[in-house]
């Protein structure tokens, strides 16, 4: 399988887990949903640094992989903060 196809399929599986999460009402459904999320994340996000290197070439790969790591870190920092804000001011 081509790396780009693997990443796109992984992102689609990852995104579909959030759609299925809307309908999960009991523990087995949550477990299945998180297995789907983990499979999608493993397929897509593990290959992104290699894909960045393929797209940019070795001379610029470090710069763009650094930008990728910055974006991932900012998302991991802001995501829980935003999620807490939504739950506090809205509802689950």
| In a domain? residue 90 | yes
User: Do residue 1 and residue 32 come from a single domain?
Assistant: yes
Query: What does pTM read for this prediction?
Result: 0.75
The CA distance from 22 to 33, in Å, is 10
Question: pLDDT digit string (tens) for 29-49?
Answer: 999 999 999 999 999 988 898
Question: pLDDT digit string (tens) for 18-28?
Answer: 999 999 999 99
How many domains are there within the chain? 2
| In a domain? residue 51 | no
User: Do residue 42 and residue 4 come from a single domain?
Assistant: yes
Banded model confidence at residue 9, pLDDT cuts 50, 70, 90 = very high
Report whether 54 contacts 3 (CB < 8 A): yes
pLDDT of residue 58: 85
Count the helix, strand and coil residues of the chain and give each as a percent rounded to the nearest 5.
Answer: 85, 0, 15
Domain that includes residue 11, residue range: 1-46
| In a domain? residue 39 | yes
Q: Give the mean pLDDT of the chain.
A: 92
């Amino acid at each position: 399988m081509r790396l780009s196809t693997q990443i796109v399929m992984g992102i689609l599986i990852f995104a579909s887990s959030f759609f299925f999460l809307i309908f999960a009402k009991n523990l087995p459904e949550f477990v299945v949903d998180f297995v789907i999320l983990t499979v999608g994340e493993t397929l897509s996000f593990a290959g992104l640094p290699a894909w960045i290197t393929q797209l940019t070439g070795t001379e610029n790969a470090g710069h763009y992989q650094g930008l990728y790591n910055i974006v991932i870190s900012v998302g991991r920092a802001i995501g829980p903060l935003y999620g807490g804000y939504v739950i506090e001011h809205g509802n689950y």
